């Protein structure tokens, strides 16, 4: 549970008894490559930190999979709108590689919010981080050229090229796999 302690400590601090309570509700959940972690139509009950592996978030549209994000390397993972609202997801979360997520259930997190005020602050800070990240991505998708979107992704997360399929990266960037191939060849 060192991963959970290190991750949460970036946002808030707890007393040792509070840490024991917080850490007691997190669980490791393993997934095989290709396994669906949360399906479209299911309610997301887990908020997770990636311990191992890579996951992709996508939805199906007109017979194609539209990739909207990836999680890997100690980042947050889950379908956040479904988790927050406890409503059926429009998205699919799938393990791209064998994965281990360290996760807390929605109801356990709500109890922690009630019992430990700093935990509620943690939840607010995470939500703010996710909203800012989403807004930044939307602006980039609407205003940047294909080359600029590719360059920004490579500056932020160059390891993605080794972690996920080129077709998923192209989908995430809003371009065809052929366009992505041409952009990669220029570098």
- Structural domain contains residue 11: yes
Quick check: is 185 in a domain? Answer: no
- Pick from 39, 104, 41: which is nearest to 76 by CA? 104
Report how many domains make up the chain.
Answer: 1
Please report whether residue 150 resides in a domain: no
Query: 29-43, 47-61, 95-109, 140-154: which range is least confident on average?
Result: 140-154
DSSP one-letter string for 91-151: SEEEESSSEEEEEEEHHHHHHHHHH-HHHHHHHHHHHHHHHHHHHHHHHHHHHS-HHHHHH
Summarised one tens digit per residue, pLDDT across range 101-115 is: 999 999 999 999 999
Residue 187 has pLDDT above 70, yes or no: no
Query: Tell me, what CATH number does 13's domain have?
Result: 2.60.120.10
Whether the pLDDT of residue 126 is over 80: the answer is: yes
Judge whether 52 lies within some domain. Answer: yes
Question: What is d(CA 135, CA 151) in angstroms, rounded to the nearest whole number?
Answer: 18
Residue 126 lies in a domain: no
Query: Percentage of the chain with pLDDT > 70?
Result: 99
> Can you give the residue range of the structural domain that contains 19?
2-117
Whether 99 maps to a domain, the answer reads yes
Domain assignment present for 147: no
Q: Is 13 within a domain?
A: yes
């Amino acid at each position: 549970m060192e991963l959970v302690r290190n991750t949460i400590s970036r946002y808030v601090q707890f007393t040792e008894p509070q840490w024991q309570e917080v850490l007691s509700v997190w669980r490791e959940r393993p997934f095989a490559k290709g396994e669906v972690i949360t399906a479209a139509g299911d309610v997301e009950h887990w908020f997770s930190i990636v311990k191992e592996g890579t996951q992709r978030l996508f939805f199906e549209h007109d017979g194609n999979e539209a990739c909207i994000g990836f999680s890997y390397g100690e980042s947050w993972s889950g379908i956040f709108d479904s988790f927050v609202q406890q409503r059926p997801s429009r998205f699919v979360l799938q393990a791209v590689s064998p994965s281990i997520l360290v996760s807390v259930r929605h109801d356990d997190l709500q109890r922690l919010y009630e019992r430990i005020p700093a935990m509620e602050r943690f939840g607010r800070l995470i939500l703010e981080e996710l909203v800012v990240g989403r807004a930044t991505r939307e602006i980039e998708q609407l205003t940047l050229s294909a080359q600029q979107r590719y360059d920004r992704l490579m500056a932020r997360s160059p390891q993605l090229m080794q972690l996920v399929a080129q077709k998923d990266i192209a989908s995430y960037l809003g371009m065809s796999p052929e366009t992505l191939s041409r952009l990669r060849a220029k570098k």
